[in-house]
């Protein structure tokens, strides 16, 4: 029976300390080897919290599976901001291009509730609302209206 450990780690900067060390130590595997593999696989997500799943079999072999960071972390990276707005409807924390919203939606499509890209993009823009991030310099409601009018269909409908 395989043991499974699921944790959130900083991309490219995991350490043998918590949460990995205490979770992996009792399993009797090479914690440094696991940490090195996680850091190699998550290097492209530097600065973001990344979900990681480690499976350890009976022979102490391990498999590391890296998930995709949360939508909010991807938005922060694409918008170049440290954190969202403390007052989302009052203060703007940053701006996200519509193309970046589409990229994020494509990355997260499998894990979203949406069945099609257009709906997934709307979910990403909805997250922008709660973070105080505009899209192409517009408020989310304006962008939603443009999506409904078909202004972005060339990008969204395949």
Pick the CATH number of 3-66 from 3.40.50.2300, 3.40.718.10, 2.60.40.10, 3.30.1550.10: 3.30.1550.10
> Which residues pair with residue 140 across a beta bridge?
none
Residue 97 predicted with pLDDT over 80: yes
How many of the other CB atoms lie within 10 Å of CB of 137?
A: 11
Q: What are phi and psi of 51, to 5 degrees?
A: -75, 130
Which is it for strands 133-135 and 94-96: parallel, antiparallel or unpaired? parallel
Query: What is the average pLDDT value for the chain, to the nearest integer?
Result: 91
Residue 157 predicted with pLDDT over 90: no
Distance linking the first and last C-alpha atoms of the chain: 43
Pick the CATH number of 71-156 from 3.40.50.720, 1.10.10.250, 3.30.1540.10, 2.60.40.420: 1.10.10.250
What percentage of the chain carries pLDDT values higher than 90?
Answer: 69
**HEC readout, 117-133:** HHHHHHHHHHHHHHHCE
Closest CA to 117 of 133, 132, 99, 134: 99
Residue 1 predicted with pLDDT over 80: no
Taking residues 82-88, report their average pLDDT.
91
Query: Quick one: pLDDT band at residue 95, thresholds 50, 70, 90?
Result: very high
Q: What are phi and psi of 52, to 5 degrees?
A: -130, 140
Mind listing the pLDDT tens digit for each residue in 15-24? 999 889 898 9
Tell me the two tokens of residue 95: 């701006």
Half-sphere exposure of 12 (CA within 13 A, CB side): 6
Query: Quick one: pLDDT band at residue 129, thresholds 50, 70, 90?
Result: very high
Taking residues 17-41, report their average pLDDT.
91
Closest CA to 55 of 110, 111, 1: 1
Per-residue confidence (pLDDT) for residue 156, from 0 to 100: 85
Query: Quick one: pLDDT band at residue 106, thresholds 50, 70, 90?
Result: very high
**Do the first three CATH levels of 3-66 and 71-156 match, i.e. the same topology?**
no
Per-residue confidence (pLDDT) for residue 89, from 0 to 100: 85
Per-residue confidence (pLDDT) for residue 158, from 0 to 100: 63
The one-character DSSP state at 138 is B
Q: How far is CA 25 from CA 13, 29, 150, in A?
A: 19, 7, 54
Spell out the domain ranges in the chain. 3-66, 71-156
């Amino acid at each position: 029976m395989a043991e499974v450990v699921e944790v959130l780690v900083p991309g490219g900067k995991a350490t043998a300390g918590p949460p990995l060390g205490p979770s992996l130590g009792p399993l009797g595997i090479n914690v440094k080897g696991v940490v090195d593999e996680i850091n190699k696989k998550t290097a492209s997500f530097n600065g973001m919290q990344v979900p990681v799943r480690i499976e350890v079999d009976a022979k102490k072999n391990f498999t590391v599976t890296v998930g995709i960071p949360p939508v909010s972390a991807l938005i922060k990276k694409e918008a170049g901001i440290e954190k969202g707005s403390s007052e989302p409807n009052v203060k703007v924390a940053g701006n996200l291009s519509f193309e970046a919203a589409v990229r994020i939606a494509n990355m997260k499509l499998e894990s979203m509730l949406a069945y099609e890209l257009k709906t997934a993009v709307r979910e990403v823009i909805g997250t922008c609302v709660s973070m105080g991030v505009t899209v192409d310099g517009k408020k989310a409601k304006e962008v939603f209206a443009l999506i409904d009018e078909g202004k972005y269909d060339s990008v969204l409908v395949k």
